[in-house]
Amino acid sequence: MLGLIFIILILLCLLICVRIVEKSGTNYWRDRNVVFKKPLLFFGNIIDVILLRKSFNSVVKELYFELCAPYFGIWYLGDPQLVIKSPDLIKDILVKDFDYFQNRHVSHIEDIDKFTARMLAFMDGSRWKQKRATVTPVFSSNKLKCCHVHIREIAKTMICHINTTKLNVQMDLKKLCKEYTIGALSVIIFGLNISCFNTQSPILKINPCLSLLDSIQFTLYFSKSYLLKVFIPKYIKCSAKQIMIEFVSDILNKKRKLLSNNIGFNVLNSLIDDEDNNLDDVISRLSEFFIASYHSTSSSISLALYELALNKNIQSKLRQEINENFDKYDDISYNELIFMEYLDKIIHETLRKYPIMSIIGRTCVRSYKMPNCALTIEEGVRVLIPLSALHHDPKYFPEPNLFDPERFSKENIRERPAYCYLPFGAGPRQCLGEKMALLIMKLAVVYIIRNYEIDVCEDTNIKVEASLMDFVLDVNGNTSIRFKAIDSSTREATPHQ
């Protein structure tokens, strides 16, 4: 009898503790007059993420349209996080008051994953500023202009690769864009022209899919939970890390043997020239640049071409602009490329509809009083910028699921808030590789549309799904596209000829 009473008392105590924890969690945002969605005990608002039913981006996007306020609160496991909807407040956080939000999203990183801790995206404060300064010059317009000729040759090689197949051919668009992107990134990051088509690059072996355990680990990565010490999650899996180590080692060997094929301005040289970097630093940072750029850029190229295949009138208008900018040597200069207005609209509309990053995260490093409201964000609280939701908000982009390049006409850009479209982020921690990604994307689109009419096939079924990792969208399904070669003699005469 006493044993039964003891068990009942223990259960009652546990129930009381649960209610206290639940009430304190609910009260956090209520006490600060912040709109919020009631959390589930222990799991907060992300139980569907942990169970692989939804991505974190999907959860935040649903709440974005459900909760009417310039910002709202959520619970990420046991951590309160603030989601910002107002473009004006986004500007304050990312740009104007950046010093309060200069850190990214991950806690305890050096204790749990030293390989990732060496990456720029996960560095904090002064260390980030110092290391970023060593590679920023490589991504300048002048340096990319030097790489333009080499990337252009890779685009031409891609056309030759397509030409080796039959006319009016059906090809795997996703695979083609991945191979091209590997070649382009090898120029900028490693300073080498390498064969990228019809080869089995080890990078293609990196599997982005996550298991349930991977999902739990990745979820913990962005919390302050003590369970981090138990799961010891890895941002990049050991298998992927080993592939990158082998890949980079192979590249280093090639650089030693192929000095005549070595392009001087590249990320690898800048990292080696930094005396503070050891080999682990170099491999880790090269892995960061390559993996992040490889997946996101190749996906964006695939989606731009997919939309052009679906929208023949847009494709034809772009082809006319392309033909007007090619010279008599069948080339396009760097300056002509970056000043092609309609191409620029198409690329930006692709990045709006399919944002590379679905969410940007920042951590408040000291208490911050938000302008024009009573809320003070406490030190350590994470702030989220929901890019995918902003890019699909009808208030800024009417009929958001429609592909319409004219959204990015000068007139339309002026009519909407500046900070509702942020495919590469904004402020001092804006994506370092923005200009690089745009250059690679534009050259691929230009050379394919110049040489081919592209169309969807009967079995084309491209699915764009939010990655469980929430950094980039995954392009899945049947990605076959039909390429019909254009007779060069039928092209309109250009001003250069």
CATH number at residue 431: 1.10.630.10
Asked whether residue 237 carries a pLDDT value surpassing 60, the answer given is: no
Same domain, 14 and 77: no
d(CA 296, CA 293): 5
Question: Residues 2-21: what's their mean pLDDT?
Answer: 59
| Nearest Cα residue to 75 out of 112, 109, 34, 18 | 34
Q: Is the dihedral of CA 314, 319, 324, 327 positive or negative?
A: positive
Which of the residue ranges 4-13, 251-260, 398-407, 451-460 would you say has the lowest mean pLDDT? 251-260
pLDDT of res. 210: 43
Same domain, 238 and 386: yes
pLDDT of res. 43: 84
Question: Residues 400-427: what's their mean pLDDT?
Answer: 96
Highest mean predicted confidence (pLDDT) among 239-243, 258-262, 295-299: 295-299
d(CA 497, CA 493): 7
Q: What percent of the chain has pLDDT over 70?
A: 75
Same domain, 11 and 123: no
Confidence of residue 234 (pLDDT cuts 50, 70, 90): low
pLDDT of res. 209: 46
Q: Name the token pair of 101.
A: 């939000």
Phi, psi of 41 (to 5 degrees): -50, 135
For residue 179, being part of any structural domain is answered with yes
Confidence of residue 136 (pLDDT cuts 50, 70, 90): confident
What's the total number of domains in the chain?
2
d(CA 425, CA 469): 18
Same domain, 361 and 301: yes
Report CA-CA distances (Å) from 213 to 210, 289, 423: 8, 26, 30
238 is in an annotated binding site: no
For residue 495, being part of any structural domain is answered with no
Looking at the DSSP assignment, which residues form a beta bridge with residue 55? none
Same domain, 37 and 21: no
pTM: 0.86
DSSP assigned state of 488: G
Same domain, 329 and 461: yes
The answer to whether 403 touches 307, Cβ cutoff 8 Å, is yes
Which of the residue ranges 193-202, 231-240, 365-374, 477-486 would you say has the lowest mean pLDDT? 231-240
Q: Name the token pair of 172.
A: 């795997």
For residue 42, being part of any structural domain is answered with yes
For residue 124, being part of any structural domain is answered with yes
Confidence of residue 95 (pLDDT cuts 50, 70, 90): very high
Highest mean predicted confidence (pLDDT) among 17-31, 207-221, 252-266, 448-462: 448-462
Q: Name the token pair of 223.
A: 């919390």
pLDDT of res. 256: 58
Same domain, 23 and 153: no
For residue 426, being part of any structural domain is answered with yes
pLDDT digits (tens, 9 = 90+) for 167-176: 567 888 988 9
* Residue 167 burial (C-beta neighbours within 10 Å; 0-12, 13-18, 19+): exposed
For residue 496, being part of any structural domain is answered with no
Asked whether residue 134 carries a pLDDT value surpassing 80, the answer given is: no
pLDDT of res. 477: 80
pLDDT of res. 353: 96
For residue 417, being part of any structural domain is answered with yes
Q: Is the dihedral of CA 261, 263, 264, 267 positive or negative?
A: negative
For residue 497, being part of any structural domain is answered with no
Same domain, 23 and 129: no
d(CA 391, CA 410): 17
pLDDT of res. 224: 61
d(CA 88, CA 201): 44
Strand 360-363's sheet: what is its strand order? 71-76, 79-84, 382-385, 360-363
Confidence of residue 290 (pLDDT cuts 50, 70, 90): confident
Same domain, 394 and 476: yes
Same domain, 265 and 315: yes
Question: Residues 247-263: what's their mean pLDDT?
Answer: 62
Report CA-CA distances (Å) from 12 to 8, 263, 346, 479: 6, 70, 61, 57
Q: Name the token pair of 228.
A: 């981090």
Residue with the two structure tokens 């010059």: 137
Asked whether residue 216 carries a pLDDT value surpassing 70, the answer given is: no
Same domain, 10 and 44: no
Confidence of residue 345 (pLDDT cuts 50, 70, 90): very high
Q: Is the dihedral of CA 438, 302, 484, 186 positive or negative?
A: positive
Looking at the DSSP assignment, which residues form a beta bridge with residue 383? 82, 362
pLDDT of res. 202: 61
Phi, psi of 380 (to 5 degrees): 95, -15
Question: Residues 236-240: what's their mean pLDDT?
Answer: 56
Domain region containing 272: 32-490
Question: Residues 128-132: what's their mean pLDDT?
Answer: 79
Same domain, 2 and 97: no
Higher pLDDT, 356 or 303: 303
